[in-house]
Amino acid sequence: MTRPATKDILFVSGQLLLFILYVVPLFSFPFHINTVIRYISLILAIFGVLIMGLAILQLNKNLTPFPTPKEDGTLIQNGVYKFIRHPIYTGIILIAIGFGLFHQSLWEIFIGIVLWVLFYFKSSYEEKLLSKHFLNYTAYTKTTGRFFPFV
């Protein structure tokens, strides 16, 4: 196995730091929302768990925390990957923001948004590498959304 690139390590380290800040909040900015919205946000978070879980199962041996694709990896274009290029990131975004709304925590919502921004840059870097690794990746990007279908 080759050593991960510096950019790979920086992206994964930033992601890990944000996960820790989400779980161990440094600040508390509570707010109140309607009970119906709270439970809709819980459904959103559960939907995120399902998307992420399916994506992990579908990636199987291609799974890596780093943006650089595995040398012997294959391009998955079915299942949730038929609609979304980065469904694991999508799942994490939905989980973070959904639970943030459910917990009525501006801190968790803030971290969820920062994760979304990090994933945008991480996925941009990852897509450059995937385009070099898989000849048909550019065509695949024209038929799928980055994080959400049709977006």
Domain extents in the chain: 31-63+75-151
- pLDDT > 90 in the chain, percent: 87
- In the chain, the amino acid numbered 70 is K
φ and ψ at residue 145, rounded to 5 degrees = -90, 155
Question: Using one digit for the tens of pLDDT, what is the confidence trace for 84-140?
Answer: 999 999 999 999 999 999 999 999 999 999 999 999 999 999 999 999 999 999 999
Question: Using one digit for the tens of pLDDT, what is the confidence trace for 31-71?
Answer: 999 999 999 999 999 999 999 999 999 999 999 999 999 98
Question: If you average pLDDT over every residue of the chain, what do you get?
Answer: 94
Report in angstroms the alpha-carbon separations of 88 from 30, 34, 53, 107, 151: 28, 29, 8, 22, 16
| 3-state SS class at 125 | helix
The pLDDT value recorded for residue 1 is 55
Q: Residue 126: which of 1, 15, 22 has the closest Cα?
A: 15
Rounded Cα–Cα distance for residues 89 and 31 (Å): 26
Q: Does pTM surpass 0.75? A: yes
The pLDDT value recorded for residue 143 is 93
Dihedral sign for Cα 77, 83, 85, 89, please: negative
For domain 31-63+75-151, the CATH class is mainly alpha
